[in-house]
Every structure is written in C-alpha cells, then in structure tokens.
C-alpha cells in the first residue's frame, strides 16, 4: 500500500501485542476492498498538535479527557492510548498523569505514570481538588452560626435526636458535628474542644 510510506513516524510504529488489537478494517472508497488501518494512524489523525499540548479532538468525557473506541473492547482514555503507542504497555495499577494539567492533551512528553496516590497528590498540588466545605458546598442546611449553636446545645446535655429535629437534620449529622467529623473546619467558640 502506498499510504504506509506517507505516515509519520508514530503511525508507522508497530502496535504492540496484548494491548487491544492491531487494526480496524475499513472499506476503501477507491477500490471497494477492506483495508486494515493501524490504531496508531487512526489515533494520531484525531490529534491537533500545537507548540505546547497535542489536544485530542475526538470524543471526550464530561471531564474533558479524550476517549478512544477500541473495537469490541470498549473505550480507553486517549492519554493511555497515547502512552501505549509511544512508550509501551502500562503496568497494572498505574495511571497516566498529565504534567501540563490539560485533560485532552495526549502529547507523550506531557504524560507520566503514577499510582492512585500520586494522582491524588498531583491533583491536590495543582489546586484541582476542590471540595467546598460548609456553607460553600452549594446546598448547605446549616451555617457556621447554627453549627456553633448545635455544639453548644450538645455541651448543655441535649440529645443528638432532639437537636437533629430542631434543625431538620439527622441525629447522625449532629453526632458527626459534635465529634468534628463534619464541619471540622469550624473552630469551637471558646477554642478547641476538650477530648
């Protein structure tokens, strides 16, 4: 086939066995015959290369990560496919992380392998772990003032259930507030709670 000579270096790289298949068959419009197209060639055709990131322009999930259909084996993230095409198999239990913090980026130089913990720490270090607490969570039933009142009522001896019914919350929520499991970011009115 002539098309093989026109492919770039990454598309010519042989697909490694054990990943998710070698090729996809497609009907050639000129000859009417089925031809096998290497996954690497299909993959790089859906990448927009810029001076910085190489962005996946195919299907993306709700978080902006590229998704690649690999025949009957379902979808894989584009960053994992990029890694496997460029650098080889990904060991079990490892994730493909982004140095550039750009979810659709598939540039091999911007990717690195790490554990789940590495992924969580990377996310936190880059300020992406956004879990609003207390009144900032979008649907709070309580305010800082009410939390302080609940703690005060507990110190006066009122039961979890009684306080819960006063504020329209579950007694377990009152218990978690009292034990500083929930609303732990709110300091005690008179300083830290004695244990």
Structural domains counted in the chain:
2
Q: State mean pLDDT over 138-142.
A: 74
Domain assignment of residue 51, given as a range: 3-125
Kindly state whether residues 95 and 147 are assigned to the same domain: no
Least confident window among 92-96, 115-119, 142-146, 183-187: 183-187
Q: Is the pLDDT of residue 81 over 90?
A: yes
In a domain, 154, yes or no: yes
Q: Partners of 66 in the beta sheet?
A: 60
Specify the pLDDT at position 125: 84
CB 10 within 8 A of CB 86: yes
**Predicted pLDDT of residue 174:** 94
How many CB atoms are located within 10 Å of the residue 38 CB? Answer: 19
Is the pLDDT at 133 greater than 80? The verdict is no
94 and 61 assigned to the same domain: yes
Is residue 91 situated within a structural domain? yes
Q: Is the pLDDT of residue 20 over 50?
A: no
Report the percentage of the chain scoring pLDDT > 90.
50
d(CA 43, CA 45): 5
């Amino acid at each position: 086939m002539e098309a093989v000579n026109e492919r770039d270096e990454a598309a010519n790289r042989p697909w490694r066995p054990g990943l998710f298949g070698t090729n996809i068959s497609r009907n050639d419009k000129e000859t009417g015959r089925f031809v096998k197209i290497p996954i690497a060639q299909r993959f790089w055709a859906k990448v927009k290369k810029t001076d910085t990131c190489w962005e996946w322009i195919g299907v993306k999930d709700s978080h902006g990560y590229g998704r690649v259909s690999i025949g009957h084996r379902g979808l894989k993230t584009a960053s994992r496919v990029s890694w496997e095409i460029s650098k080889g198999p990904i060991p079990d239990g490892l994730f493909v992380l982004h140095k550039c913090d750009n979810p659709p980026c598939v540039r091999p130089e911007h990717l690195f392998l790490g554990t789940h913990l590495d992924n969580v720490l990377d996310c936190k270090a880059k300020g992406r772990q956004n879990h609003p607490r207390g009144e900032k969570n979008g649907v709070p039933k309580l305010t800082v003032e009410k939390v302080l009142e609940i703690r005060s009522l507990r110190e006066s001896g009122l039961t979890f259930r009684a306080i819960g019914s006063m504020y329209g919350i579950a007694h377990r929520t009152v218990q978690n507030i009292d034990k500083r499991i929930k609303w732990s970011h709110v300091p005690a009115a008179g300083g830290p709670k004695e244990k």
